A and B are shown apart, each in its own frame.
Chain A
Amino acid sequence: DAGVIQSPRHEVTEMGQEVTLRCKPISGHNSLFWYRQTMMRGLELLIYFNNNVPIDDSGMPEDRFSAKMPNASFSTLKIQPSEPRDSAVYFCASSLRVWGTSGVSYAEQYFGPGTRLTVT
């Protein structure tokens, strides 16, 4: 398996431009997570999907951020308009969400290589 695939790996854009980050999860995984990592705030969960449905987007910083998962093998994170403070590494991760005797649990998450976004 190729693992989680993210594109682009690096993105440099000017303030005000729209940015779209893409993610292909591991085949068979039914949960997908978007994270942002900065030196100041560490790794933050932005949003996650179960079976293509957004479950919790409370981590999305503001309305400029939106995420979609049109099918089980593809997700996008869009920033419009972008601002310099959005500069960070954005990770996508996928996992298998399973039902056990004690309820829902998640197997470990596998992270993609990340997209390094620089907004000037």
Chain B
Amino acid sequence: EDKVVQSPLSLVVHEGDTVTLNCSYEVTNFRSLLWYKQEKKAPTFLFMLTSSGIEKKSGRLSSILDKKELSSILNITATQTGDSAIYLCAVKTGNQFYFGTGTSLTVIP
């Protein structure tokens, strides 16, 4: 059965901390892995990863895929209260998108 697992389920940090969110997957016919940020509304796209070992960066956020380990990490440096959200990982296979249950990040001032 194809599945995507995210860890931790929830995380509380102080402003300025660096966090690492994990996503592991077991799927057949992997095509790509996507990260989304969801606040109190619809998910917004962060990154799409298809190649192993190539880091994608956007400001304080970065992500990398490890196809050998079947996993990806999302790093957020110098966290801010505006980073508080649920971070979703999704894996695209040949026919399906599978989402993890998300990591709930809370950044305390």
Contact = CB atoms under 8 A, between A and B. Distances in A.
A107 B32 CA distance: 10
Interface in A3-47: 33, 35, 42-45
B101 A91 contact: no
Contacts, number: 47
A114 B42 contact: yes
Interface residues of A, number: 22
A113 to B, nearest CB: 5
Contacts of B101: 42
A56 B41 contact: no
A105 interface: yes
B92 A106 contact: yes
A56 B96 contact: yes
Contacts of B98: 45
A109 interface: yes
Contacts of B32: 105-106
Nearest to B47: A108
Nearest to A89: B42
Contacts of B42: 91, 111-114
A54 to B, nearest CB: 12
B90 to A, nearest CB: 8
B95 A43 contact: no
Nearest to A112: B42
Contact of A108 (B31, B45, B100): B45
B44 A111 contact: yes
B53 interface: no
5 contacts: A42-B99, A43-B102, A58-B96, A91-B42, A105-B32
